[in-house]
Structure 1
Amino acid sequence: MKITVMTADEQIITVDVDPHETVENVKALLEVEISVPLKQQQLLYNGKEMRNFEKLSELGVKDDDLVMMVSTAASTLSTNNLGFNPDGSAVNPEAFQQHVRSDSNIMAQLFQSDPELAQVVLGNDLNRLQEILRERHQQRSKLRSQQEEELALHYADPFDVEAQKKIEAAIRQKGIDENWQAALEHNPEAFARVVMLYVDMEVNGVPLKAFVDSGAQSTIISKSCAERCGLLRLLDQRYKGIAHGVGQSEILGRIHVAPIKIGNIFYPCSFTVLDAPNMEFLFGLDMLRKHQCIIDLKENLLRVGGGEVSVPFLQEKDIPSRFLDEERYSKQASSSVAPGTSGTTDRSNNVVPLGGQSSGGSRGDVAQGPVFEAKVAKLVELGFGRDAVIQALKLFDGNEEQAAGFLFGG
């Protein structure tokens, strides 16, 4: 490896040495190069004196590192001007900065090995220079400690349980680090933020950005958005209650049908209205299925009606910044109306399912007794298949009218 040695009289020498070479041998090599007797040399690395018997690898010296050399006659003066403190900062940062600036070779090496430090050396902020020097010292110290620990574990007693646990943890961490490096190289997109899916829609003639979420059971609209769209007058408060999920939101009721415009075609849509100021409009699975929507991630399109209308998902620059911050609230709201979590509340604050049932069961758990069979028979008489009828009744907690509307709408 190569190390750079800076002398007190601003002379720069680059020497090629073995990492396991002793300091004394390095001094002997320098004696030949610059004619300074070995006994008069004092080498400093990170502000600490390098003793003759120590090896470069033990001191943590690596390729392209900088070592300061002073003669014993001027050691005090040089240490005061160009030396380093125990924390890695320069004793005299201004003198150190001027010294490094004046040597084009050192600056060229810095720009290759540490561009950030090189830029700070060329700047005028000495405090920042000291911070960078301390950071580099801490990084080297941490790396040296890790290497020493790994070396100690290598020679640890194989019957020492604690040592074997540390070896196991070190092996596991090494695997994690290698996996991280592989991800950076082969799958860097995994570290980027994933922007959720938004499309332009009109609700009752009012344009807005709709968050498309196939993981949400119901289509959700906030009270403020419903009011802006002129739909609050249609709010059916018989369906109000408390939605429990990741968080808790108040269900103000339901708007049974209103027109939404996707592309140039109008579609009927129903909404669950939440008192959620941090979430505006969420296009959920109920309407995605009803209108046979296809989320085409290859073409970045939302296809509606089996493909009769296609609208592009919005790019990040087209999505209001507040929406990007509200995605977590939207997910919270969508999980709050997940199966078995939403319902109306009675005076004792018990949660019962939507649709007026009092059994306390969740959607999909509607009791299939005589009453349920009578509803199934009535809807089957209308020409629907039995399986579809049962599924619709379970979806709406046994509410016959809602199930019929769903079946007719599908």
Structure 2
Amino acid sequence: MPESPAMKVTVTCDLTGANVFPLEVNNDMEMENFLALCRFEIPVLNDVPMSQLKIIHNGHTVNVNANNLKTTLNDWKIYDNDIIVLVADMPTTSSIQPQFSNTLITDLVKSIRVPQDSMRRDKNLKDSELAQLRMLFDGLRNSAERRNRLRNVVPNLVAAVDQNNFDMFKMKYIAERQSAFARERAMLDPTSAEGQRLIAEQIQRENIDFSHQFAMEHMPEAYIPVSMLYIKMKINGVEVKAFVDSGLFD
């Protein structure tokens, strides 16, 4: 019988995507063995019985039970490059439930920065926020370099500064803020397909940042222009031009 193809999946118990674990598995692996592997990689789930785990995949939440533990990843329609979120469903009658739930929730949302005044999400700004926004506007208006650095990040805000239009700048800022709040809500909703898409994007950005940092450390010549250095020298009385290896400068 030919061996089933290997595939790479990403597992997390953090709905923000900040803590992820890439795994290489086969599509015929039973869910019981897959969860055992995941629990080994995710310490916070070590003490959670498999029957109290929930699997979130493609916007659907499924409770683990004795019937589906013996089904394969292929039966679950888990394929190459998929993202799987594992969360614990502790029984409400358990005396240890509040303590565990608090710990797990802390782990899940520790990297999300939610504004203290999270209930106030209307279009009004506090005086302190408005003053800071004016300072930001003036700072960008007086620095072409800062505008150019941010042009690809927040193009709408920079466009308002280019037009010297503070009212437009404020309106675009409020829109960006509302969009950020919406993304946070989606990422904290385990049943949201949009939230899973945002998590996948964040994971991809983190992988790109890591790859770039690794390349800059180990292969800087791929990003930094390198000048070819030649020197005149004599070898056995013969004048030659020698090339200096840039590795000598490490």
TM-score by length of 2: 0.33
**Larger relative strand fraction:** 1
